[in-house]
Structure 1
Amino acid sequence: MTGDGRHKILIVDDEKINVALLTSYLSENYDVITASNGERALPIVKEEEPDLILLDVVMPGMDGFDVCRVIKHEYKLDFIPIIMLTALTSKDDHQKGIEVGADDFLKKPADKFELEKKITALLRIKEQHDSLLMDRNKAYEYLDYVGNLVAVLDHEYKLIHINKKGSDMLGYTRKNILHRDWLDLFVADSYADHVKNRYEKLLKDGTGASDYHEYPVMTITRKERLFRWYDSLLKDGNCGAKCILISGEDITDKRKDEIKLIEYSKQLQHSNELKDLFTDVLRHDLLNPAGLIKSFTELLEDTEISDKQAHIIGNIKRSNSKLIELIEDAAQLAKLESMEEMVIVRTDIGHLLRSMRENFSPVMAGKNIELVMDTTSSYPSLANPMIEAVFSNLISNAIKYSPEDTRITIGVEDQGTKWKVTVTDQGDGIPDKDKEAVFDRFNRLHKENIKGNGIGLAIVKRIIELHEERIGINDNPEGKGSIFWFTVKKAL
Structure 2
Amino acid sequence: MTSSKHKILIVDDEPLNVELLSVYLGDEYDIVTAYNGRDALEKVKSEHPDLVLLDVMMPEMDGYDVCRVIRNEFKMDFIPIIMVTALTDKADHQRGIDAGADEFLKKPVGKFELDKKIASLLRIKDQHDTLLTEKNKAYQYLDYIGVLVAVLDLDLKVTHINKKGSEFLGYSPEKLVGREWIEFFIPRNSLNAIREHYKKLISGATKAYEYCEFPVIISSGEERLYRWYDSPLRDDSGNTVGILISGEDITERKAAEEQLKEYAFELKRSNDLKDLFTDVMRHDLLNPAGLIKSFVDILLKMESDEKKKRLLSNVNLSTEKLIAMIEDAAHLAKLESVDDISFVKIDIDSMLHDTIDSFMHQAEEKKIDVRLQLKSGSYAVANPMIERVFVNLLSNSIKYSPEGSTVIIEVASHGDKLKISFIDQGDGIPNSSKASIFERFKRLHKQEIRGTGIGLAIVKRIMDLHKEGFGVEDNPEGKGSIFWLTLKKEA
What TM-score results when the alignment is normalised by the length of structure 2? Answer: 0.43
Q: Which has the larger radius of gyration?
A: 1
What TM-score results when the alignment is normalised by the length of structure 1? Answer: 0.42
